[in-house]
Structures are given as structure tokens and as C-alpha cells.
Structure 1
Amino acid sequence: MTRNDRAGRQIDRILEDCGLRAASFIVTIYGDVIDPRGGEVWMGNLIATCAAAGISETLVRTAVSRLVTAGQLSGEREGRRSYYSLTPEARAEFAQAAQVLFHPPAAGQTEAWRFVHLGADAPPSQISLLEAMGFARVGPQLFAGPARGDGSALPGLVFSARMPCGAGAPPEALRDFAAAHWDLDRHAAAYARFIGWFTPLARILEQDGPPGPGTCLTARLLLVHLFRAVLLRDPRLPGAALPTDWPGHEARRLFSRSYLALSPGAESAVAADFVTRLGPLPPRTAATLARAQGLEKAIS
């Protein structure tokens, strides 16, 4: 699809560059549009929304089938139409991801660490779990990472720590520690790529105003999809451990501003086109309003 407005052309450039996959983009559609509005949608809406991002109907149907097999979606037929809902397990995962995306922690709430000691016979699955949660190996059996939640999901022997803990430690000591154990350059490069994609779009939105509702929806889904891919891989270390020029801060502000700017148009597109077995999806719900409030706090 070729778009004629400036915002649309920038969206096309991003699409050409990022290489969308059908299944992961459908996950984004559910996370951004469907989950906060009940969790169900008509298959035709998925096909049309993916088509606007250059994904064919065949790929959509194949991806939905795989998501059903994986236990993330369940389907129901009513007449000639098929409707797909998130499973309870998938909704729980989506809630966790939404918390990270739309409700960033306030300043001073990210300065805690946890240290986990695994036994010598710990299975590889425990190490993989820790790495997926942002932990890095700092000793033969010792892992360190940011403290999130109550820690009940962590394996092994868990210790908690807060900063600062050493009166004589120079400010850069923690940054040196983090740089030695986490590949922060890789995450910084991913944030820089996101900024390069969406800064031109943000400028166009400021100068021209938002495009039509359909283009706003495609742009917002693409924004969420690509920011989520970077953010959920980031170990999200306490701020004092990060370089002073950490691009994740700029990326977070860019995401928040752009999401809010695109939302009125995107919500109009949802209300006009998306349906469930019970009728049209609403433009806004308590969950979508809470997300917007979280983003407003991030840039206030």
C-alpha cells in the first residue's frame, strides 16, 4: 500500500525497514487494541489491519492458526464469521507487558536490585528464566538484576539490595559494574534505531497534525510493535547504573508523545470498523484511559 500524505510515506519507510512478521504483529494488535476492549475481535478486522501494514490475508490466517495452537487465542464461529479471543493465560501475559509499556515506574522506584544464587546443579531453564528477566551472571553461580515485583517467581536463593550502599564508591562505579555484565551497547543501538524511525514521524505530526484515522491506527500499532520489541528485551536496569546519555529515556518520551498524538484518530478507526459478536468495539474504555494517563505522567 502506498500512502500519499507525509505521515503515510514515513510509515511506509519504517515498514520497508523493519520487516514485520504476521504473528508478532497480530499480538501487537491484540495488546494495543483488543485486550483493553474485552479481548475478542472479528477475523476480518485482523485481516484488514494487517493488510494496511503490508501483511497478506494468507499470512494472517496462518499466523492466527499458530496462535490458537500455541494457546494464545481461541476461536468461535457465528454464521459465516470467525471471532478470536485471547485466552486467560495470554491476557495475563498481556497485562504484564502493558504495565511495562504504559505505566513506567516513577523516579526513585527503580533503584533496587536482587541477587540470585543458583545451586551447582541448577537446570538451564532457571538460567534462561533469569536472563529473560534482565539478570546477568556476576559469578559462577550468582546472578544480579533489577528488582521487579515481589521476587516470588525467581529461582534459587534470593537477596535484595538498594542503592547507594557504599559511602566511598564513586558515582561511576555502578555504571562500570553494569557495563561489565550487560551488553548495554546492543540495547542502546536498538533504542537509537527506534528513535531514527519515529522522530521524523513525530515532527510531521507536530507540523501537519494527525493523518486520517486508518493511518493513525497503523502508525500507532507500528509504534507499539517496535517499541515493545526494544523495551521488553531491555534489562531495564536502575537509572544510576545506566550511561548518562542513555537513549532509552528519549525513546520512552518519543513513544509516549507519539502514542498520545495518534490515539484520537486510532480510536476513531477502532470504533468505526472493529466488531465482536456483541457489536462494535468502543473507542475508549477505562483501561485505555488508564494507559493514556500513564503515558502523560511519563512526559510530565
Structure 2
Amino acid sequence: MPAFPALETLVDNFRNRRPIRAGSLIITVYGDAIAPRGGTVWLGSMIKLLEPLGLNQRLVRTSVFRLAKENWLVAEQVGRRSYYSLTGPGIRRFQKAFKRVYADQNPEWDGRWLMAILSQLEQDERQKLRQELEWHGFGTLSPTVLLHPQMQKSELQAVLQEYDYTDDVIIFEDMGEGSTATRPLRLQTRESWNLPKLAESYQSFLDKFRPIWNHINDKGIPTPEQCFQIRTLLIHEYRRIILRDPELPDELLPGDWAGSAARQLCTNIYQRVWQGAEQHMDAVLETAEGPLPPPNNKFYKRYGGLN
């Protein structure tokens, strides 16, 4: 393959992570690449696909088995080959999470705040639900009060229903008073969501992937295999950050918010490498019927429309 120092550094840094968290990378590959193309692949071809990223056969097999136990994947045996597909719950999790990953901009804010009061839960249950809501982007106003500027009430109710806390959590929805981004509100936002830490994560993402973008601009589109490596690590890194980002309204963010630059960089790189990555997967991945089917229509709507 043509020399690509920035990509070699990116791949080496990923390989040298300890622990490498192969299961998380496999989730990225399924969500980004396999789900829109039928959702099923032969395990042997997945092993071949991921080997250049430092995941050996044993690590991939162990991680896939674990994902199956966690109800992300389900196996089907055809002869001596194992084919892994997304489960129904796995598909729903992917759709919910990756919808945010591929948005080309933050949703507009209507001034609404959604508040969850957890004071009626036992301490252990409260901590468990706090962690889940924080994963969904809620900020902490106090130990028992969390708030979110974007989530719909129905979405919160679905989370509570999943954990059987529907009758134990108080929900308030404010429809307008928060629309003015006053100085106290901006300061409170900074505290409730630890924006400096999130900004550091976005800056680290920019530092890793700007050299990739510069190389593509200078040298042109890389090989299909390099495109796949770039796209996979790009979405893997971005997904880990964006799912911790509450997607606060621009009115409540610093003027030099690194998340905006990170979203644009991710969009720009993805637009340049997605086709090459698809070509590489066509050459490597297999289903029980043969090659992967083409991507579905939703795939082409990512980042405002793939060219």
C-alpha cells in the first residue's frame, strides 16, 4: 500500500491500547458498515477484515461470543461456518446511538428543558439510573436532579420503562423559560456537564484526525483498505465522544466549542473515504449467500447525504 504515515500512527496507537476493547470496535463495524448491508457476515471474513487493526482470530472470536451473550448478536451455523447477525434489540440500540453519530449538525433548541427527579429511588437504584441517564446526555443539577435540553419526554419514559422505574421518577418539562441563555445558565451548564473534559476529548479527536485529512487533501483518496481503516477508526473514536455529548444548544456552548470542528472534520473525512471502504468490504466480507448486499437507502443519508 502507498505510504500513509498519519494512518500508520493512528493504527499503531489503536493496536497499542490496553485493553484493546475489541468488542467495542466490532460494535462500531457492525453499526457503521454491516448493519446497512443486511446485518449478517461470516465470522471468518470478519476476522480477516479486522486483523490489520490488531485484532487476532482468538480476540475476535472471544469478543463476538461475548456480544452474543449480551444479546447484541445471534449466530447461525451453516455447515462448518458461523454467521453472525444483529438481534432485534441490537438493531434498536444501533439505530438509537448511530442516529446521533451521523447527524450533520446539532438539532435546534426550542428552549425546552426535561428534568428527572430521582429522590424516590433507593440509593443503589438511583446510582444505576443516574449512570444510564448521563450516558443519554443528562447533566447533574444536584445528586437527585438531572436535566436535558433536547430529549423528548417519550424517550425518557422509554428508558424508565426499560428499567422498571416508570412509577418512581418525577418528570418535569419546562417549555420556554430556559430559552434565554443567561450568564448564570451558561455557568450552570458548564458545571452540570463538565464541558471542559468533553472539550478535551474533542480536541484529542481533532489532533488525531487532522493529519489524516491533510494527507487526503494533499495525496488524494487512499487505497480501499486504507479507506476502511480510516473510516472504522474515525467512527469508533467519534462515537465514543458523541454518545457522551448532550448536544447542548449553541447558545449554551463556548464560542470556540471544539465539538463543532470535530463534527465537521468527521463529516469531511467520511465523505472522502466511505466509497473506498465499501469496496474493501465487498472484497473481504461474506454472507451465506455470497457477497454483501448493497447498502440500504438510509445509509446514503448520513452526514446530510453521501456523494
Q: TM-score, normalised by structure 1?
A: 0.88
* One of 269, 272, 277 as aligned partner of 1:258: 269
Greater shift, 287-296 or 112-121, is seen at: 287-296
1:278 and 1:43 map into 2 onto residues whose CA distance is 14
Question: 2 CA distance for matches of 1:37 and 1:209?
Answer: 27
- Please name the residue that 1:54 is paired with: 54
1:181 aligns with 2:179: no
SS at match of 2:76: strand
Give the 4+ runs in structure 1 shifted more than 6 A.
Answer: none
For residues 195-206 of structure 1, the aligned pairs below 5 Å read 195-206=206-217
Q: 2:36 aligns to what?
A: 36
Structure-2 residue corresponding to 1:158: 171
Matching residue of 1:15: 11
For residues 81-128 of structure 1, what are the alpha-carbon distances to aligned partners after superposition, in whole Å with 9 as ceiling and x for unaligned? 211101111010000112101125555247532112223434223322
CA distance in 1, matches of 2:41, 2:9: 29
CA deviations 1:216-243 (Å, max 9, x no partner) are 0111001000000111112222222211
Contact 1:42 1:83 in 2 (8 A): yes
Larger mean CA deviation between 60-69 and 105-114 belongs to 105-114
Matched letter for residue 135 of structure 1 = F
Aligned 8 A contact 2:181 2:252 in 1: no
Moved more, 119-128 or 259-268: 119-128
Structure 1 contact 113–146 (Cα < 8 Å) conserved: yes
Q: Deviations over 1:266-292 (max 9, x none)?
A: 111122222211221134321211225
Equivalent residues in 2 for 1:1-300, closer than 5 Å: 4-6=2-4, 9-18=5-14, 19=17, 20-104=20-104, 108-109=108-109, 111-122=111-122, 123-124=125-126, 125-149=128-152, 150=154, 151-153=156-158, 154=160, 156-162=169-175, 165=178, 171-294=182-305
Query: Retained in 2: the 8 A contact 1:275–1:281?
Result: yes
Q: Percent sequence identity over matched residues?
A: 33
CA distance in 2, matches of 1:140, 1:87: 35
For 2:286, give the aligned amino acid: V
Deviates more, 1:11-20 or 1:25-34: 11-20
1:170-221 Cα distance to aligned partner (Å, 9 max, x none): 7433221111222111111110111000001011111111111111011100
Which region of structure 1 is more displaced relative to structure 2, 63-72 or 155-164?
155-164
Shift of 1:144: 1.6
Q: Which runs of 5+ in 1 are unaligned?
A: none
Determine the C-alpha separation between the residues in 1 that align with 2:151 and 2:205.
25
Question: Equivalent residue of 1:237, what SS?
Answer: coil
Partner SS state of residue 244, structure 2: coil
Say which SS state the counterpart of residue 240 (structure 1) adopts. Answer: helix
Bigger RCO of structures 1 and 2 (CA < 8 A, at least 6 apart): 2
Residues of 2 paired with 1:190 and 1:260: CA distance? 22
- Distance of 1:277 and 1:24 partners within structure 2: 25
Which residues of structure 2 form unaligned runs of 5+?
Answer: 161-165
Distance 1:75 1:170 in 2: 50
How many pairs were matched up? Answer: 290
